[in-house]
Chains A and B, each alone.
Chain A
C-alpha cells in the first residue's frame, strides 16, 4: 500500500467551524481517506504531533499555549497551512485587540453578570493571554493560507488534492469570491 499523506489539524483561537467545513466534504471523505491519515487532530485524540506532511490550523494565536501548539506544528509539519479568517487575520477574537487586556478580563471575571467571588483567574495551569490576538504568520512561518470563514469544503478538496498530486495549489475564482 502506498504511504498515506499524514495530516495534523488543530484549532487555536477558533470556533471549530473550519473543522466542520472540512467534514462538509461528506461522501468525498471516503476517497480522501484512501489518500490521507490523521495525526494530532480533534478527530483522533492524538495528543502530540509526530512527523507530518501537512498541518492545518484554524484560529489565531490568543495565548501562550497557542504559541506552543503552533510551534509544535511548525516543527513537525512539512507544510503548514493557516485555515480560515481567524488563522489568517486573527478574525473575530482579534476584535479585543482594540480594548486593553485589563478591561477585557475585568468585564468577564470581575463585572460580568452572575460572577461570584470575582477575581482574575491565576491558576498556574492556565495559559496567559497575549496582549493582542495574532495571525499565525506573525508568530511562525506559514506556507499556505486558505481564505474564508470558514473556507468551503470545495476549498479543502481542491487544495488537498493539488498538494497530494504534487501540484502548486491554486484556488479557482469561485472558491475565493464571497459576495
Chain B
C-alpha cells in the first residue's frame, strides 16, 4: 500500500490541492481509504491528518470503512421513485443477498442509496464503482447480479449496460447549430477582446446555473481586478435533482463548452481553467479528457492558442458526491482539495476565488451560449426572449410525461406549451428548478419560463394526479437534510427538524399546532441559513403549503397534541433489560383521562 499511495501522491506532485484526486484513486483501488494511507498522505502532502479525515467524511463517495468490491448505489431522486426504484432496490437486495446500507459479509458487494444521479430521463438509475447504470429493470438486475457473483471486472461488463442516451427532443437556437471547433475563438480574436465582451454585454446573457447573474458583468469584474493570475471554472456539478442538461451538453457539445471557457480566459486573462465534473458523471471523464487532447492538437488549447499569444489549459476535477459543491464558493474550496463548505460572500469569486485569485465560475450552459455569442454576436442572441431574459433555456424534463429528455425553449414560453410538447397528462403539478425551486399547480400553466416569472436552472419534474404530493415533498426535504454541509446551525439542525416535523404530520401523529410549527421552522431555516442550500431547503414545503393547505390539514388529528414518535415502543428496550411487562412499564400515546 505504501508504494501505491506514494506513487499517486507523486503523480499529483504532492499537492494538497489534489487531495480529492488522490482520494479518488485510493478509494477506487481499496474501496475505502485505509488508515495507514491517511497517515502517509498527511506527511507526504504536509497537511493535518484530521483535515484528510474531514474531507473523507464530507464527501459521500469516500469511505473510512470498506465498501464492497462492487459498490452499488441506487439513485434516490424522486424521478427514480416514480419509475419504481423502491421495488427494484428490494429485488436487487434479495438477488445479491445484501441489505441497503450494508456490505455483504464476503465483502464482494455493497448496496446503498445516493442522491440524484442525473439520469432522470432514463431511470431508475444507479452507479457501480462510480459508473452510471441507466434503465434498471428486473432483466438488467439479473444480469448485473450474475456479473457480480461471477466477479467479472466492471471494465468487462457489456457496454449496453452503461449506454446513456442524450434524448435531445426539442433542440433550439443553441442545440440546432453547434459551432465548429475554433470558430468562436477566431471570431473573438478577429473582433478583439473588448469588443467581444461588449457583444456578450449586448446579448444580455445571464448565468444558467440558477442565480441568473449577468455574465458580461461577471467577466468584466474579474478582468478589472488588479491581479496577474486569474482562473476560469466551469461548474458541471449539476446536483439539483431533475437536472441533466449539463450531462448532455458535455457528452455532445463539449467542444463548444470548452471553447466558451477559452473565450472567457482570453477576455479575463486567465491561464488555467478547471472543469468541475460531478463524481456521478465519471463515465464522461475519459471522453472529456480526449476532447481536451484533440483541442490541444488543434492549437485550441495550450500555449499560444491560434497564434494569438494566449496560453490557457484546462484540468478536469471530479467531485465526490456532494450537492453543496455546486455552490460556487464551495466548489472552489473543493477544487482546492478541501471540504465543500461555502465561503462568506463577499468577497465573491470574481475578486477572491481559487487560491484567493479572481475567478469566473459559470455553468456549462452559460459557456455554451457565450461561445455562440462570441461567434454570432450579441444581437443574434438578444433578438429572442423577454425583457429581462434573453435567448433560450435548455430544460431537463422528466417525471410523468410521454417524452422525457432535453428541450430548448425561448424565454417567455408558457409552461403549458412545454407540457403539451413533452406529453404531460392528468397533471397534478410541476416542480420547476428542482427541489430548491418551486412547485406550481395545474392552475398556473400560463406562467412563463423567464427570470422575471419562473426562473430555473433547467429542472422540470412533472407529476400526474395519481402521485402523492406529500411523498414528493418528503423526498425533497430528506434530500436537503442529507446534503446540508453542516457548517451552520440553522441549516444543519433546521433541515433535520423540517424532515422530522414533516414526517410527524405525514405519519399521522400531527395535530392542530404542528402545521404552524412547521411553517415557523420554514421561516427560520430560510432566513438564517448561511448559503443558498439552506435558504431554499424549505421551498418544497413552503410552495406546497401555499397551494395545497388542505392536504396537510387532512393528515392532522383532532386532538391538541400527540408525540411524533411511538412513546410505548421507546420503552421496549428498557422493558427487555429489566425483564418487566407490568402496567407501569407501558405508556399510552396520548394522555387518557
Contacts and interface: CB of A to CB of B under 8 A. Distances in A.
Contacts of B579: 122
A124 B579 CA distance: 10
**How many interface residues does chain B have, given as a range?**
20 to 34
A132 B570 contact: yes
A102 B577 contact: yes
Contacts of B584: 64, 124, 127
B157 interface: no
Interface in A120-137: 120-122, 124, 126-132, 134
A121 B563 CA distance: 28
B585 interface: yes
Contact of A138 (B564, B578, B591): B564
A141 interface: yes
A128 B563 contact: no
A124 B586 CA distance: 12
B565 A138 contact: yes
Interface in A32-66: 64
Contacts of A122: 578-580
B561 interface: yes
Contacts of B572: 131
Interface string B562-577: 0111010011111101
Contact of B577 (A64, A67, A101): A101
Contacts, number: 56
A145 B517 CA distance: 14
A101 B574 contact: yes
A130 B560 CA distance: 23
A71 B582 CA distance: 20
A29 interface: no
B580 A128 contact: yes
B561 A141 contact: yes
B513 interface: yes
Nearest to B583: A124
B194 interface: no
Nearest to B582: A124
A141 B561 CA distance: 6
Interface of A: 64, 67, 71, 74-75, 100-102, 105, 120-122, 124, 126-132, 134, 138-141
B64 interface: no
Contacts of B563: 134, 138-139
29 contacts: A64-B585, A64-B587, A67-B567, A74-B591, A75-B591, A100-B573, A101-B573, A101-B574, A101-B577, A121-B578, A122-B578, A122-B579, A124-B582, A126-B578, A128-B574, A128-B580, A128-B585, A129-B571, A130-B570, A130-B571, A131-B570, A131-B572, A132-B570, A134-B563, A134-B565, A139-B563, A139-B567, A141-B560, A141-B561
Given A100-B573, A131-B573, 18 more contacts: A64-B584, A71-B591, A74-B591, A101-B577, A102-B573, A105-B577, A122-B578, A124-B580, A127-B584, A128-B575, A128-B580, A130-B567, A131-B574, A134-B563, A134-B565, A138-B563, A139-B563, A141-B560
A162 B263 CA distance: 65
Ranked 10 nearest A-B pairs via Cβ:
A122-B578, A128-B574, A141-B561, A131-B570, A101-B573, A71-B591, A129-B574, A130-B570, A128-B571, A120-B577
A124 B581 CA distance: 10
A134 B570 CA distance: 11
Which of B561, B563, B577 has the largest number of chain A CB atoms within 10 A?
B577
B561 A140 contact: yes
A140 B559 CA distance: 12
